[in-house]
Amino acid sequence: MLDIKFVKENPELVKENIKKKFKDSKLPLVDEAISLYDEKKAANSRADELRANRNKLSKQIGALMGQGKKEEAEDTKKLVNAQAAELKELEVKENELETKLKEVMMKIPNIVDPSVPVGKSDEDNVEVTKYGEQTVPDFEIPYHTDIMAHFNGIDKEAAGRVAGEGFYYLMGDIARLHSAVTAYARDFMIDKGFTYCIPPFMIRSRVVTGVMSFEEMDAMMYKIEGEDLYLIGTSEHSMIGKFIDTMTPEENLPMTLTSYSPCFRKEKGAHGIEERGIYRIHQFEKQEMIVICKPEESMEWFNKMWNYSVELFRSMDIPVRTLECCTGDLADLKVKSYDIEAWSPKQGKYFEVCSCSNLGDAQARRLGIRVKGEDGNKYFAHTLNNTVVAPPRMLIAFLENNLEFDGEKYRVRIPEALRPYMGGKEIIE
C-alpha cells in the first residue's frame, strides 16, 4: 500500500509502475484514489467545522444550565439539532469514503525496485545464479513418495482415510529426517543472529484481513467453526500480526526473527492438491524468517536473507539457483523478490523451495508498523520475509539429490550438517 500523498504528488510515476507490471486495468485506480482522497478531505473539513461548532455550543449549554438559564439552554440545543442531520450524513460519508479509498489504495501496486527486470509473467523471471552441479545420476530416480515408501517412510493411504486427500503420515527415519531438517534450519538461523519464535497457530479475522485479501483468505484459510479463529497458512501471518499497530523505538531495529509453525492451506483454486506427491498439501511445517528494519537497510537485508537460504541448502548438498521475479510476477505489495529453487534430478529442472521478498514500507503502512527515530521522527518500517525451509517440499529435493543406488539397494546419504540431528546416522537404508 502506497502513501496516498505520494500518489497524489506523483500520479504519473505510479501509473508508469503499473504499466511496467502489465496491469493496465489498474491504471484508472490512480485517479480514482486521488479524487476519493480529495472528496474525503472536503467532507472531513466540513464535518470538523460542524463538530467544532457543536462542541462550542454544548459548552455554552453547560454554562447556561449552571446559571439556571434553562430556556436559553433549550434554545441553544435547537441550534445544535439544526445541524445534526448534516453532520450525521457527513460522518457516514467520511466513513464510506475512507473505506473506499483504502480498498482502492490496496489494489494499487507498490513501486518496484528499479533493478527488477520487466516482464509479463513467471515465464519472464530471470535466473540470477546457479549454485552446485545439476547432477543426474546414471540410475532412474523413483518418484519422491516412492523413495519414501521404499524406506517405509510414508503412508498416504491411511492419511487419506483419516484426514482425506492432501495429508500424509511420515514414518520412521523419513519423519525423523523431517524433524532434523527443521531443527537444523532453526539452529542455522539462530547462529545468524535471529531470534527463535514459536507463534500462535491460529489468528483472528482482524489479523487475517490485515495480511491478505478476501480472495486469498477464501482460497487459503481454514476457519474454526463457531469461533473467530483461523489456522495460519504460514507463520508470517502471526509473526507480522505481532507488530500490527505498534511503535518500535529505532534502537530496537533491526528485528530479526525466525519462526517455526505448522501451516494449513486449503489450496483452493488454480493448482489444487497434487494427488500423488507431497509437493502441495493441506498441512506442512515451515521455518520462516522475517526482518523489520530501517528503510535504508532493507536491500542489504534482502541480499543477506536469500543468501542464507542458498547457504542452508548448499550445506545439505542440494544444488539451487536464484530466480528473480519480473515486474509482472511480483505481488502488489513487493518491491523485489527472489525465488530459491532446488534442483530435481528426477524432473531435470529446478522447483521453488523458498521465496524471499522485500516489501518496502507497503506492508508496514497497511498494518501500522511504525518506528520512532531517536530524533523523534516517526516512519514506517521496511518488512521482509523469506522461507528458511519447508521440510515436506525440501525433502523431495533432499531425497532426490542424496539418493544412492548400488544396483540392488537404495540408500540415502545424510549430509554432515544434519547428522547431529539424526542421532549421528550417516545413511538411511
Partner RNA sequence: GGAGAGGUGUCCGAGCGGUUUAAGGAGCUGGUCUUGAAAACCAGUGAUGCGAGAGCACCGUGAGUUCGAAUCUCACCCUCUCCGCCA
Chain positions contacting RNA, by CB under 7 A: 5, 41, 44-45, 47-49, 51-52, 54-59, 61-63, 65-66, 77, 80-81, 84, 247, 370, 372, 376, 378
Place of cell 516412492: 146
Q: Which residues make Cβ contacts (< 8 Å) with residue 24, sequence separation at least 6?
A: 18
339 or 361: CB nearest RNA: 361
For the CB of residue 48, give the shortest distance to RNA in the complex, in Å: 4
For the CB of residue 83, give the shortest distance to RNA in the complex, in Å: 10
For the CB of residue 421, give the shortest distance to RNA in the complex, in Å: 24
57 or 273: CB nearest RNA: 57
83 or 315: CB nearest RNA: 83
204 or 280: CB nearest RNA: 204
For the CB of residue 52, give the shortest distance to RNA in the complex, in Å: 3
Q: Which residues make Cβ contacts (< 8 Å) with residue 15, sequence separation at least 6?
A: 27, 30
120 or 378: CB nearest RNA: 378
For the CB of residue 284, give the shortest distance to RNA in the complex, in Å: 22
Alpha-carbon separation of residue 86 from 48, 49, 100, 213, 411 (angstroms): 12, 11, 21, 34, 79
Question: Which class for 183: exposed (0-12), middle (13-18), buried (19 or more C-beta within 10 A)?
Answer: middle
47 or 211: CB nearest RNA: 47
Contact 294, 371 (CB under 8 A): yes
99 or 152: CB nearest RNA: 99
For the CB of residue 93, give the shortest distance to RNA in the complex, in Å: 14
Reduced to 3 states, what is the DSSP secondary structure of residue 384?
A: strand
8 or 411: CB nearest RNA: 8
For the CB of residue 267, give the shortest distance to RNA in the complex, in Å: 29
Q: Say how many residues make up the chain.
A: 429
Question: Which class for 129: exposed (0-12), middle (13-18), buried (19 or more C-beta within 10 A)?
Answer: exposed
* CA–CA gap between residue 203 and residue 237 (Å, rounded): 8
Question: Which class for 54: exposed (0-12), middle (13-18), buried (19 or more C-beta within 10 A)?
Answer: middle
Alpha-carbon separation of residue 156 from 40, 165, 182 (angstroms): 56, 8, 21
For the CB of residue 202, give the shortest distance to RNA in the complex, in Å: 11
Q: Which of 424, 420, 427 is nearest to 183 (CA)?
A: 420
Place of cell 540410475: 139
